[in-house]
Structure 1
Amino acid sequence: MTRGLIASGKDKADAGASVRRRSGRPSLSNEALLDRALDLFLEKGFDGTSIDAIVAAAGMAKRTVYARYGDKKRLFMAALSRAIDDWIVPIDSLRALEDDNLEQSLVRIGDALVANVLKPAGLRLLRLTNAESVRMPEISVENVRLGTEPTVAYLSELFARRLELAPRQALQAGQAFLNLIVAGPANSAAWGQELDMQQVEQQTRFGVRVFLHGLTAREAPGHARMRKLVSEATALLDEVRVGLEQAERPD
Protein backbone atom coordinates (compact mmCIF):
# COMPACT_ATOMS: atom_id res chain seq x y z
CA MET A 1 0.00 0.00 0.00
CA THR A 2 2.83 2.35 0.94
CA ARG A 3 4.56 1.51 -2.32
CA GLY A 4 1.50 2.69 -4.22
CA LEU A 5 1.55 6.11 -2.52
CA ILE A 6 5.25 6.87 -2.19
CA ALA A 7 7.54 6.75 -5.19
CA SER A 8 10.75 4.81 -4.84
CA GLY A 9 14.11 6.42 -5.50
CA LYS A 10 14.15 4.87 -8.97
CA ASP A 11 10.59 6.09 -9.64
CA LYS A 12 11.58 9.59 -8.58
CA ALA A 13 14.61 9.51 -10.82
CA ASP A 14 12.51 8.33 -13.76
CA ALA A 15 9.92 11.04 -13.08
CA GLY A 16 12.60 13.69 -12.87
CA ALA A 17 14.08 12.55 -16.16
CA SER A 18 10.62 12.65 -17.73
CA VAL A 19 10.07 16.21 -16.52
CA ARG A 20 13.46 17.23 -17.83
CA ARG A 21 12.68 15.68 -21.22
CA ARG A 22 9.34 17.49 -21.41
CA SER A 23 10.76 20.83 -20.35
CA GLY A 24 13.64 20.44 -22.77
CA ARG A 25 11.47 19.47 -25.75
CA PRO A 26 11.64 22.17 -28.43
CA SER A 27 8.38 24.06 -28.77
CA LEU A 28 6.70 23.95 -32.18
CA SER A 29 6.77 27.33 -33.87
CA ASN A 30 3.52 29.22 -34.18
CA GLU A 31 3.71 29.00 -37.99
CA ALA A 32 4.12 25.23 -37.86
CA LEU A 33 1.16 24.92 -35.47
CA LEU A 34 -1.04 26.93 -37.83
CA ASP A 35 0.09 24.81 -40.78
CA ARG A 36 -0.77 21.57 -38.95
CA ALA A 37 -4.14 22.97 -37.92
CA LEU A 38 -4.92 24.15 -41.45
CA ASP A 39 -4.14 20.72 -42.91
CA LEU A 40 -6.73 19.19 -40.61
CA PHE A 41 -9.32 21.91 -41.22
CA LEU A 42 -8.90 21.49 -44.97
CA GLU A 43 -9.22 17.72 -44.72
CA LYS A 44 -12.08 17.44 -42.22
CA GLY A 45 -13.71 20.87 -42.04
CA PHE A 46 -14.21 22.98 -38.94
CA ASP A 47 -16.69 20.68 -37.18
CA GLY A 48 -14.72 17.54 -38.01
CA THR A 49 -11.49 18.87 -36.54
CA SER A 50 -10.94 18.74 -32.79
CA ILE A 51 -8.38 20.49 -30.66
CA ASP A 52 -7.21 17.04 -29.56
CA ALA A 53 -6.49 16.11 -33.18
CA ILE A 54 -4.58 19.35 -33.73
CA VAL A 55 -2.59 18.82 -30.55
CA ALA A 56 -1.71 15.28 -31.62
CA ALA A 57 -0.64 16.43 -35.10
CA ALA A 58 1.41 19.30 -33.71
CA GLY A 59 2.98 17.37 -30.84
CA MET A 60 2.11 20.24 -28.55
CA ALA A 61 0.44 20.45 -25.16
CA LYS A 62 -3.24 21.38 -25.27
CA ARG A 63 -2.72 24.11 -22.68
CA THR A 64 -0.16 25.74 -24.97
CA VAL A 65 -2.64 25.86 -27.85
CA TYR A 66 -5.34 27.32 -25.62
CA ALA A 67 -2.88 29.82 -24.17
CA ARG A 68 -2.06 31.05 -27.67
CA TYR A 69 -5.54 31.13 -29.20
CA GLY A 70 -8.17 30.60 -26.53
CA ASP A 71 -10.49 28.37 -28.56
CA LYS A 72 -10.80 26.44 -31.81
CA LYS A 73 -12.50 29.26 -33.71
CA ARG A 74 -9.67 31.72 -33.04
CA LEU A 75 -7.14 29.07 -34.05
CA PHE A 76 -9.13 28.41 -37.23
CA MET A 77 -9.23 32.11 -38.14
CA ALA A 78 -5.50 32.50 -37.49
CA ALA A 79 -4.67 29.46 -39.63
CA LEU A 80 -6.96 30.70 -42.39
CA SER A 81 -5.47 34.21 -42.37
CA ARG A 82 -1.96 32.79 -42.63
CA ALA A 83 -3.01 30.52 -45.51
CA ILE A 84 -4.67 33.36 -47.43
CA ASP A 85 -1.64 35.58 -46.91
CA ASP A 86 0.67 32.83 -48.23
CA TRP A 87 -1.66 31.96 -51.11
CA ILE A 88 -2.30 35.32 -52.79
CA VAL A 89 -0.09 36.47 -55.65
CA PRO A 90 2.24 39.21 -54.34
CA ILE A 91 1.56 42.61 -55.87
CA ASP A 92 5.22 42.96 -56.85
CA SER A 93 4.89 39.76 -58.88
CA LEU A 94 1.86 41.15 -60.71
CA ARG A 95 3.59 44.46 -61.36
CA ALA A 96 6.57 42.61 -62.84
CA LEU A 97 4.25 41.21 -65.55
CA GLU A 98 3.55 44.66 -66.99
CA ASP A 99 5.10 45.98 -70.19
CA ASP A 100 4.25 48.64 -72.79
CA ASN A 101 1.49 46.49 -74.31
CA LEU A 102 -1.47 46.81 -71.94
CA GLU A 103 -3.47 43.96 -73.45
CA GLN A 104 -0.59 41.51 -73.18
CA SER A 105 0.15 42.75 -69.67
CA LEU A 106 -3.43 42.08 -68.61
CA VAL A 107 -3.35 38.63 -70.20
CA ARG A 108 -0.26 37.72 -68.19
CA ILE A 109 -1.76 39.17 -65.01
CA GLY A 110 -5.01 37.30 -65.62
CA ASP A 111 -3.14 34.04 -66.30
CA ALA A 112 -1.19 34.43 -63.05
CA LEU A 113 -4.29 35.11 -60.96
CA VAL A 114 -6.30 32.28 -62.50
CA ALA A 115 -3.45 29.76 -62.25
CA ASN A 116 -2.98 30.65 -58.60
CA VAL A 117 -6.63 30.18 -57.67
CA LEU A 118 -6.76 26.86 -59.55
CA LYS A 119 -3.83 25.32 -57.66
CA PRO A 120 -4.91 22.39 -55.45
CA ALA A 121 -4.08 24.38 -52.31
CA GLY A 122 -6.03 27.36 -53.63
CA LEU A 123 -9.10 25.29 -54.45
CA ARG A 124 -9.08 23.56 -51.06
CA LEU A 125 -8.85 26.94 -49.38
CA LEU A 126 -11.63 28.35 -51.55
CA ARG A 127 -13.91 25.41 -50.78
CA LEU A 128 -13.21 25.68 -47.07
CA THR A 129 -13.97 29.40 -46.95
CA ASN A 130 -17.15 28.91 -48.99
CA ALA A 131 -18.34 26.11 -46.71
CA GLU A 132 -17.68 27.90 -43.43
CA SER A 133 -18.41 31.54 -44.29
CA VAL A 134 -22.19 31.12 -43.95
CA ARG A 135 -21.96 30.72 -40.19
CA MET A 136 -18.73 32.69 -39.84
CA PRO A 137 -19.11 35.82 -42.01
CA GLU A 138 -15.80 37.11 -40.71
CA ILE A 139 -14.14 34.55 -42.98
CA SER A 140 -15.38 36.42 -46.05
CA VAL A 141 -14.32 39.72 -44.52
CA GLU A 142 -10.83 38.37 -43.90
CA ASN A 143 -10.62 36.87 -47.38
CA VAL A 144 -11.55 40.19 -48.96
CA ARG A 145 -9.19 42.15 -46.71
CA LEU A 146 -6.16 39.96 -47.33
CA GLY A 147 -6.81 38.73 -50.86
CA THR A 148 -9.26 40.76 -52.89
CA GLU A 149 -8.67 44.32 -51.69
CA PRO A 150 -4.89 44.47 -52.35
CA THR A 151 -5.37 43.00 -55.84
CA VAL A 152 -8.21 45.40 -56.69
CA ALA A 153 -6.13 48.30 -55.38
CA TYR A 154 -3.23 47.33 -57.65
CA LEU A 155 -5.49 46.90 -60.69
CA SER A 156 -7.19 50.23 -59.98
CA GLU A 157 -3.83 51.96 -59.84
CA LEU A 158 -2.81 50.24 -63.08
CA PHE A 159 -5.93 51.39 -64.93
CA ALA A 160 -5.69 54.91 -63.55
CA ARG A 161 -2.05 55.09 -64.63
CA ARG A 162 -2.35 53.47 -68.06
CA LEU A 163 -5.84 54.58 -69.11
CA GLU A 164 -6.08 57.86 -67.17
CA LEU A 165 -9.30 56.81 -65.47
CA ALA A 166 -10.80 58.75 -62.59
CA PRO A 167 -10.42 57.05 -59.18
CA ARG A 168 -14.01 55.78 -59.04
CA GLN A 169 -13.86 54.44 -62.60
CA ALA A 170 -10.48 52.82 -61.93
CA LEU A 171 -11.86 51.07 -58.85
CA GLN A 172 -14.88 49.79 -60.78
CA ALA A 173 -12.56 48.60 -63.55
CA GLY A 174 -10.41 46.66 -61.08
CA GLN A 175 -13.43 44.94 -59.60
CA ALA A 176 -14.86 44.18 -63.04
CA PHE A 177 -11.56 42.67 -64.21
CA LEU A 178 -11.48 40.20 -61.31
CA ASN A 179 -15.12 39.26 -61.81
CA LEU A 180 -14.72 38.77 -65.55
CA ILE A 181 -11.34 37.02 -65.64
CA VAL A 182 -10.92 35.17 -62.33
CA ALA A 183 -14.33 34.55 -60.76
CA GLY A 184 -15.67 32.29 -63.52
CA PRO A 185 -12.90 29.66 -63.52
CA ALA A 186 -12.60 29.85 -59.72
CA ASN A 187 -16.29 29.18 -59.13
CA SER A 188 -16.44 26.41 -61.73
CA ALA A 189 -13.44 24.61 -60.25
CA ALA A 190 -14.66 25.09 -56.68
CA TRP A 191 -17.87 23.29 -57.63
CA GLY A 192 -15.87 20.35 -58.94
CA GLN A 193 -15.94 21.03 -62.67
CA GLU A 194 -12.84 19.80 -64.49
CA LEU A 195 -11.31 22.61 -66.52
CA ASP A 196 -9.17 22.41 -69.63
CA MET A 197 -6.33 24.83 -68.94
CA GLN A 198 -5.88 25.59 -72.63
CA GLN A 199 -9.52 26.65 -72.83
CA VAL A 200 -9.14 28.65 -69.62
CA GLU A 201 -6.20 30.55 -71.11
CA GLN A 202 -8.15 31.20 -74.31
CA GLN A 203 -11.05 32.48 -72.23
CA THR A 204 -8.68 34.80 -70.38
CA ARG A 205 -7.45 36.29 -73.64
CA PHE A 206 -10.98 36.74 -74.92
CA GLY A 207 -12.09 38.24 -71.61
CA VAL A 208 -9.23 40.75 -71.65
CA ARG A 209 -10.16 41.89 -75.16
CA VAL A 210 -13.82 42.27 -74.18
CA PHE A 211 -12.82 44.13 -71.02
CA LEU A 212 -10.55 46.59 -72.83
CA HIS A 213 -13.07 47.13 -75.62
CA GLY A 214 -15.76 48.03 -73.13
CA LEU A 215 -13.40 50.23 -71.17
CA THR A 216 -11.87 52.15 -74.05
CA ALA A 217 -14.64 52.15 -76.69
CA ARG A 218 -15.66 55.59 -77.88
CA GLU A 219 -19.25 56.45 -78.67
CA ALA A 220 -19.99 56.66 -82.39
CA PRO A 221 -20.58 60.25 -83.62
CA GLY A 222 -24.10 59.38 -84.79
CA HIS A 223 -25.01 58.08 -81.33
CA ALA A 224 -23.70 61.22 -79.67
CA ARG A 225 -25.72 63.41 -82.06
CA MET A 226 -28.86 61.39 -81.37
CA ARG A 227 -28.42 61.71 -77.62
CA LYS A 228 -28.04 65.47 -77.99
CA LEU A 229 -31.23 65.74 -80.05
CA VAL A 230 -33.17 63.66 -77.53
CA SER A 231 -31.90 65.85 -74.71
CA GLU A 232 -32.89 69.04 -76.55
CA ALA A 233 -36.34 67.64 -77.36
CA THR A 234 -36.87 66.64 -73.74
CA ALA A 235 -35.94 70.12 -72.55
CA LEU A 236 -38.32 71.70 -75.08
CA LEU A 237 -41.18 69.44 -73.98
CA ASP A 238 -40.52 70.39 -70.37
CA GLU A 239 -40.78 74.07 -71.29
CA VAL A 240 -44.07 73.48 -73.12
CA ARG A 241 -45.47 71.51 -70.18
CA VAL A 242 -44.58 74.28 -67.74
CA GLY A 243 -46.16 76.86 -70.05
CA LEU A 244 -49.39 74.88 -70.33
CA GLU A 245 -49.59 74.43 -66.57
CA GLN A 246 -49.17 78.15 -66.05
CA ALA A 247 -51.81 78.95 -68.69
CA GLU A 248 -54.35 76.66 -67.00
CA ARG A 249 -53.97 78.33 -63.62
CA PRO A 250 -56.82 80.71 -62.75
CA ASP A 251 -55.90 84.38 -62.52
Structure 2
Amino acid sequence: MTGTRPPARRGAGRPTREQAEARDKELLDTALDLFLEHGYELATIEMIAARVAMTKRTIYARYPEKAALFLAAVRSAIERQAVPREVLDDLDRGDLAETLKAVARLRIGQVATPDGLRLQRIVSTESYRFPEIFVAHYERSTALVVDFVTGLFDRAAAAGRIVPTDSEQAARAFMSMAVGGQVRAIVAGRPPTPEKIDERVDFTVDLLMNGLRPR
Protein backbone atom coordinates (compact mmCIF):
# COMPACT_ATOMS: atom_id res chain seq x y z
CA MET A 1 0.00 0.00 0.00
CA THR A 2 1.45 3.35 -0.97
CA GLY A 3 -1.15 5.40 0.84
CA THR A 4 -2.01 7.25 -2.37
CA ARG A 5 -5.61 8.45 -2.28
CA PRO A 6 -7.80 7.80 -5.32
CA PRO A 7 -8.69 10.87 -7.40
CA ALA A 8 -11.79 12.75 -6.28
CA ARG A 9 -14.87 11.93 -8.25
CA ARG A 10 -17.74 14.18 -9.32
CA GLY A 11 -20.42 14.26 -6.64
CA ALA A 12 -23.26 11.87 -7.23
CA GLY A 13 -26.10 13.49 -9.11
CA ARG A 14 -24.24 16.67 -9.96
CA PRO A 15 -25.30 17.65 -13.50
CA THR A 16 -22.82 18.33 -16.26
CA ARG A 17 -22.67 21.77 -17.81
CA GLU A 18 -24.66 20.52 -20.79
CA GLN A 19 -27.31 19.04 -18.53
CA ALA A 20 -27.56 22.25 -16.52
CA GLU A 21 -27.97 24.31 -19.69
CA ALA A 22 -30.64 21.94 -20.99
CA ARG A 23 -32.46 22.13 -17.67
CA ASP A 24 -32.36 25.93 -17.71
CA LYS A 25 -33.71 25.97 -21.27
CA GLU A 26 -36.53 23.68 -20.15
CA LEU A 27 -37.30 26.06 -17.29
CA LEU A 28 -37.38 29.11 -19.57
CA ASP A 29 -39.53 27.39 -22.20
CA THR A 30 -41.97 26.15 -19.57
CA ALA A 31 -42.13 29.56 -17.92
CA LEU A 32 -42.85 31.23 -21.25
CA ASP A 33 -45.68 28.77 -21.92
CA LEU A 34 -47.27 29.47 -18.55
CA PHE A 35 -46.82 33.24 -18.82
CA LEU A 36 -48.60 33.09 -22.17
CA GLU A 37 -51.28 30.71 -20.93
CA HIS A 38 -52.14 32.59 -17.73
CA GLY A 39 -50.68 36.07 -18.22
CA TYR A 40 -47.83 37.57 -16.23
CA GLU A 41 -49.94 38.46 -13.19
CA LEU A 42 -51.58 35.07 -12.72
CA ALA A 43 -48.61 32.85 -13.57
CA THR A 44 -46.69 32.04 -10.37
CA ILE A 45 -43.30 30.63 -9.53
CA GLU A 46 -45.10 27.81 -7.71
CA MET A 47 -47.00 26.96 -10.89
CA ILE A 48 -43.84 27.02 -13.00
CA ALA A 49 -41.89 24.94 -10.46
CA ALA A 50 -44.59 22.28 -10.42
CA ARG A 51 -44.78 22.11 -14.22
CA VAL A 52 -41.01 21.78 -14.67
CA ALA A 53 -40.50 19.52 -11.60
CA MET A 54 -38.06 21.93 -9.96
CA THR A 55 -38.08 23.44 -6.49
CA LYS A 56 -38.91 27.11 -5.98
CA ARG A 57 -35.58 27.45 -4.17
CA THR A 58 -33.71 26.28 -7.26
CA ILE A 59 -35.60 28.72 -9.49
CA TYR A 60 -35.02 31.64 -7.13
CA ALA A 61 -31.32 30.79 -6.99
CA ARG A 62 -31.18 31.38 -10.74
CA TYR A 63 -33.77 34.15 -11.05
CA PRO A 64 -34.36 36.17 -7.85
CA GLU A 65 -37.84 37.35 -8.80
CA LYS A 66 -40.64 36.54 -11.22
CA ALA A 67 -39.83 39.52 -13.44
CA ALA A 68 -36.26 38.29 -13.89
CA LEU A 69 -37.50 34.85 -14.93
CA PHE A 70 -40.02 36.37 -17.33
CA LEU A 71 -37.45 38.61 -18.99
CA ALA A 72 -34.94 35.77 -19.29
CA ALA A 73 -37.58 33.52 -20.86
CA VAL A 74 -38.59 36.14 -23.41
CA ARG A 75 -35.00 37.09 -24.27
CA SER A 76 -34.11 33.44 -24.78
CA ALA A 77 -37.03 33.10 -27.20
CA ILE A 78 -35.98 36.29 -29.01
CA GLU A 79 -32.44 35.02 -29.49
CA ARG A 80 -33.69 31.75 -30.96
CA GLN A 81 -35.81 33.66 -33.49
CA ALA A 82 -33.06 36.06 -34.59
CA VAL A 83 -32.11 35.58 -38.25
CA PRO A 84 -28.32 35.31 -38.72
CA ARG A 85 -26.98 37.73 -41.32
CA GLU A 86 -25.53 34.86 -43.34
CA VAL A 87 -29.02 33.40 -43.75
CA LEU A 88 -30.24 36.70 -45.19
CA ASP A 89 -27.17 36.98 -47.41
CA ASP A 90 -27.93 33.55 -48.86
CA LEU A 91 -31.32 34.84 -50.03
CA ASP A 92 -29.70 37.49 -52.24
CA ARG A 93 -29.36 35.97 -55.70
CA GLY A 94 -28.94 39.28 -57.51
CA ASP A 95 -32.61 39.81 -58.43
CA LEU A 96 -34.09 42.47 -56.13
CA ALA A 97 -37.74 41.45 -56.51
CA GLU A 98 -37.06 37.75 -55.95
CA THR A 99 -34.82 38.52 -52.96
CA LEU A 100 -37.53 40.69 -51.39
CA LYS A 101 -40.08 37.92 -51.85
CA ALA A 102 -37.74 35.41 -50.26
CA VAL A 103 -37.14 37.70 -47.28
CA ALA A 104 -40.88 38.23 -46.78
CA ARG A 105 -41.61 34.51 -46.91
CA LEU A 106 -38.79 33.81 -44.44
CA ARG A 107 -40.12 36.32 -41.90
CA ILE A 108 -43.73 35.18 -42.27
CA GLY A 109 -42.68 31.55 -42.02
CA GLN A 110 -40.81 32.27 -38.78
CA VAL A 111 -43.89 33.74 -37.14
CA ALA A 112 -46.03 30.81 -38.29
CA THR A 113 -43.93 28.32 -36.28
CA PRO A 114 -45.08 27.41 -32.73
CA ASP A 115 -42.07 29.21 -31.22
CA GLY A 116 -42.54 32.26 -33.43
CA LEU A 117 -46.24 32.51 -32.68
CA ARG A 118 -45.68 32.12 -28.95
CA LEU A 119 -43.07 34.89 -28.97
CA GLN A 120 -45.23 37.29 -30.99
CA ARG A 121 -48.16 36.79 -28.64
CA ILE A 122 -46.18 37.25 -25.44
CA VAL A 123 -44.56 40.44 -26.80
CA SER A 124 -47.96 41.74 -27.89
CA THR A 125 -49.64 41.06 -24.56
CA GLU A 126 -46.89 42.04 -22.12
CA SER A 127 -44.84 44.79 -23.80
CA TYR A 128 -46.96 47.45 -22.09
CA ARG A 129 -45.66 46.12 -18.78
CA PHE A 130 -42.13 45.34 -20.00
CA PRO A 131 -41.36 47.74 -22.88
CA GLU A 132 -37.81 46.40 -23.01
CA ILE A 133 -39.05 43.15 -24.56
CA PHE A 134 -40.57 45.09 -27.47
CA VAL A 135 -37.28 46.92 -27.99
CA ALA A 136 -35.24 43.70 -27.73
CA HIS A 137 -37.54 41.90 -30.15
CA TYR A 138 -37.32 44.74 -32.66
CA GLU A 139 -33.54 45.05 -32.42
CA ARG A 140 -32.86 41.30 -32.72
CA SER A 141 -35.52 40.65 -35.33
CA THR A 142 -37.08 43.39 -37.45
CA ALA A 143 -34.16 45.84 -37.33
CA LEU A 144 -31.74 43.26 -38.72
CA VAL A 145 -34.01 42.56 -41.67
CA VAL A 146 -34.69 46.27 -42.27
CA ASP A 147 -30.94 46.89 -42.35
CA PHE A 148 -30.45 44.06 -44.85
CA VAL A 149 -33.27 45.27 -47.12
CA THR A 150 -31.98 48.84 -46.89
CA GLY A 151 -28.69 47.59 -48.30
CA LEU A 152 -30.53 45.85 -51.14
CA PHE A 153 -32.22 49.10 -52.13
CA ASP A 154 -29.00 51.09 -51.82
CA ARG A 155 -27.16 48.72 -54.17
CA ALA A 156 -30.04 48.57 -56.64
CA ALA A 157 -30.24 52.38 -56.76
CA ALA A 158 -26.47 52.68 -57.23
CA ALA A 159 -26.67 50.23 -60.14
CA GLY A 160 -29.54 52.20 -61.72
CA ARG A 161 -32.05 49.36 -61.38
CA ILE A 162 -34.38 51.52 -59.26
CA VAL A 163 -34.76 55.25 -58.83
CA PRO A 164 -32.82 56.85 -55.96
CA THR A 165 -34.96 56.74 -52.83
CA ASP A 166 -34.83 56.80 -49.05
CA SER A 167 -33.75 53.19 -48.79
CA GLU A 168 -34.49 52.81 -45.09
CA GLN A 169 -38.02 54.18 -45.52
CA ALA A 170 -38.52 51.89 -48.49
CA ALA A 171 -37.33 48.93 -46.40
CA ARG A 172 -39.76 49.80 -43.61
CA ALA A 173 -42.59 50.14 -46.11
CA PHE A 174 -41.72 46.73 -47.53
CA MET A 175 -41.79 45.14 -44.07
CA SER A 176 -45.10 46.77 -43.22
CA MET A 177 -46.83 45.88 -46.49
CA ALA A 178 -45.36 42.49 -47.33
CA VAL A 179 -44.87 41.06 -43.85
CA GLY A 180 -46.86 43.02 -41.27
CA GLY A 181 -50.34 42.23 -42.55
CA GLN A 182 -49.68 38.50 -42.79
CA VAL A 183 -48.11 38.42 -39.32
CA ARG A 184 -51.08 40.20 -37.75
CA ALA A 185 -53.48 37.68 -39.31
CA ILE A 186 -51.38 34.75 -38.07
CA VAL A 187 -51.13 36.11 -34.52
CA ALA A 188 -54.89 36.77 -34.49
CA GLY A 189 -55.53 33.11 -35.29
CA ARG A 190 -56.59 33.68 -38.89
CA PRO A 191 -53.52 32.45 -40.81
CA PRO A 192 -53.74 32.83 -44.59
CA THR A 193 -53.18 29.74 -46.68
CA PRO A 194 -49.67 29.32 -48.16
CA GLU A 195 -51.15 30.12 -51.57
CA LYS A 196 -52.72 33.34 -50.26
CA ILE A 197 -49.45 34.36 -48.59
CA ASP A 198 -47.57 33.86 -51.87
CA GLU A 199 -50.20 35.85 -53.73
CA ARG A 200 -50.06 38.78 -51.30
CA VAL A 201 -46.26 38.83 -51.11
CA ASP A 202 -45.93 38.73 -54.90
CA PHE A 203 -48.50 41.51 -55.34
CA THR A 204 -46.90 43.76 -52.71
CA VAL A 205 -43.36 43.34 -54.02
CA ASP A 206 -44.47 43.89 -57.62
CA LEU A 207 -46.34 47.03 -56.55
CA LEU A 208 -43.28 48.32 -54.73
CA MET A 209 -40.99 47.57 -57.67
CA ASN A 210 -43.34 49.33 -60.08
CA GLY A 211 -43.11 52.45 -57.92
CA LEU A 212 -39.30 52.30 -57.87
CA ARG A 213 -38.68 51.38 -61.50
CA PRO A 214 -36.76 54.06 -63.48
CA ARG A 215 -39.01 55.94 -65.88
TM, length-normalised to structure 1: 0.70
Task: Tell me the residue number matched to 1:162.
Answer: 156
Q: Which residue of 1 aligns with 2:199?
A: 202
The reply on whether 1:129 has 2:123 as its aligned counterpart is: yes
Match for residue 241 of structure 1?
Answer: none
Q: Does 1:24 align with 2:13?
A: yes
- 1 CA distance for matches of 2:69 and 2:155? 40
Structure of greater Rg: 1
Kindly tell me: are residues 112 and 194 of structure 1, through their superposed partners in 2, closer, same or farther at Cα, counting changes over 3 Å? closer
- Higher relative CO (Cα under 8 Å, sequence separation at least 6) belongs to 2
Q: How many residues align?
A: 197
Give 1:91 deviation, angstroms.
2.5
Q: How far apart are residue 70 of structure 1 and its match? A: 1.6
Provide closer, same or farther for how the CA distance between residues 166 and 154 of structure 1 changes in structure 2, counting only shifts above 3 A: farther
Shift of 1:217: 4.5
User: Which stretch shifts more, 71-80 or 25-34?
Assistant: 25-34
Structure 1 window deviating more from structure 2 (167-176 vs 87-96): it is: 167-176
5 Å-filtered alignment, 1:23-172, equals 24-26=13-15, 28-29=20-21, 30-164=24-158, 169-172=166-169
Please tell me the residue identity of whatever aligns with 1:132.
E
TM-score normalized by the length of structure 2: 0.81
**Does the 8 A contact of 2:178 with 2:204 survive in 1?**
yes
Relative to structure 1, the CA distance from residue 70 to residue 212 in structure 2 (aligned partners, 3 Å threshold; closer, same or farther) is: same
Aligned partners of 2:40, 2:84: CA distance in 1, in Å? 28
Distance in 1, matches of 2:212 and 2:60, equals 52
Q: Which runs of 5+ in 2 are unaligned?
A: 1-10
Tell me the CA shift for residue 187 of structure 1. 0.8
How far is the alpha carbon of 1:185 from its aligned partner?
A: 0.6
RMSD across aligned C-alpha pairs, in angstroms? 2.5
Cα distance change, pair 194–158 in 1 and its aligned pair in 2 (3 A): closer
**Alpha-carbon distance between aligned partners in 1 of 2:164 and 2:27, rounded to the nearest angstrom:** 42
If each structure's helix is expressed as a fraction of its own residues, which one has the higher value? 1
- The amino acid of 2:31's aligned partner reads A
The sequence identity of aligned pairs, in percent, is: 36
Structure 1 segments unaligned to the other structure (5+ residues)? 1-21, 219-251
